[in-house]
Amino acid sequence: METLLQAIISGLVFGAIYAIMTMGLTLVYGCLRTLNMAQGAFGMVGGYAAWVLASRAGAPPLVGLVAGAVAAAGIGILTHFISVKPLVGRKDIDFEMTAYISTLVVAIMLSASIILLFGARNKAIDPLVEGRLQIFGTVSVSWQQVAVAVVALVCLGGLSLLLNRSRQGLSIMAVAQQFDAARLMGVPAGRVYWVTMALAGMLGGIAGVLLAPLYFVSPSAGDLPILKGLTVAIVAGLGSIRGTIYAAFIIGLIEALVATYVGSLWALPVLFSLIVVFMIVRPYGLFGKPEEERL
């Protein structure tokens, strides 16, 4: 019973991080109709930004979190102008596949640049807060887990406000849902694209800083998160915002339960089997719509 509770807590915390991470993929897919394979690398860059500030300037973790978000948002904008914008609207290429490859190239280049700058060795980073909170018996949560949950909730709540209430946010949803109509309302699609990439970068960066104390900051720190993000996005249904949140927590819980009861080596194989099953049974995900309905 106590083991189960511990697993559920851990699953929810990881689910929250996956939700922020994947939301970046979801927003970009909604607007641009391509998978941004640099999303994991955005998180890796966020982690390094926090580590640099903490280790070289002694900045407190919260400053690191903000710095990670800002740095990754900047990288998101850069990624857009280097590897996505030149492909938009080209008739001679398949945009979805080409942008997928070009953003994957950006991810590889970001990792390589980090190796050149800081070396290949893992760096440790302090959690946002230290210590553990005893709930009952042997069940406890670390304050870091609480902090992750709080940051994630603030991010998702803020994102929901932004998307549903603000002019800029509504225009992101409008471009995602009805591109021609959005243009007829006067929405400049080009600006919405880079704002969305900045937002994706920011979310990735925050997820990266939250993950950093749980693992390490390393040049490959974005590889596992992008795989988890893709898993979540596929289970959710590509481009579905609501689905992303549910799917992130489902994936987080499955992973934690499998790791606890079967062994942590089995977590990834189980998740990937899940992708295969979804691809066959429900390729449009839990909350997506089949293509014909989307039109």
Partner 1 sequence: MLEVTHLRAGYGAATVLEDVSISVDEGKFVVLTGPNGHGKTTLLRVLSGLLPAGEGEVTFLGEPLNGKSAAAIVGRGLVHIPQGDLLFVDLTVEQNLFMGAYLSAAWRSRRDRIKRVYELFPRLEERRGQQARTLSGGERRMLGIGRGLMSNARLLMVDEPALGLAPVLVQEVYATLDRIARSEATVLLVEETLANARDIADYVYLMDTGRIVHEGTMAEFGADVLSSTYLGNRGS
Residues that bind partner 1 (CB under 8 A): 164, 167, 170-171, 173-174, 177-178, 180-188
Pick the closer one to partner 1 by CB: 13 or 175: 175
* Closest of 74, 103, 107 to residue 86, by C-alpha: 103
Question: Smallest distance from the beta carbon of 171 to partner 1, in angstroms?
Answer: 6
**Residue type at position 275:** I
Question: Smallest distance from the beta carbon of 170 to partner 1, in angstroms?
Answer: 6
On the CB side of 37, how many CA atoms lie within 13 Å of its CA?
17
Pick the closer one to partner 1 by CB: 29 or 51: 29
Pick the closer one to partner 1 by CB: 144 or 171: 171
Question: Smallest distance from the beta carbon of 99 to partner 1, in angstroms?
Answer: 23
Q: Which residues contact 161 (CB under 8 A, 6 or more apart)?
A: 169
Pick the closer one to partner 1 by CB: 121 or 294: 294
Cα separation, 19 vs 149, in Å, equals 11
How far from 69 is each of 42, 117, 208, CA to CA, in Å? 9, 20, 9
Question: In which residue are the tokens 């390393």 written?
Answer: 218
| Residues facing residue 132 across a β-bridge | 142
Question: Smallest distance from the beta carbon of 164 to partner 1, in angstroms?
Answer: 7
Cα separation, 121 vs 200, in Å, equals 27
Pick the closer one to partner 1 by CB: 15 or 169: 169
Per DSSP, the three-state class of 140 is: strand
Pick the closer one to partner 1 by CB: 141 or 187: 187
Residue 54 near residue 61, CB atoms below 8 Å: yes
Question: Smallest distance from the beta carbon of 187 to partner 1, in angstroms?
Answer: 6
Question: Smallest distance from the beta carbon of 295 to partner 1, in angstroms?
Answer: 11
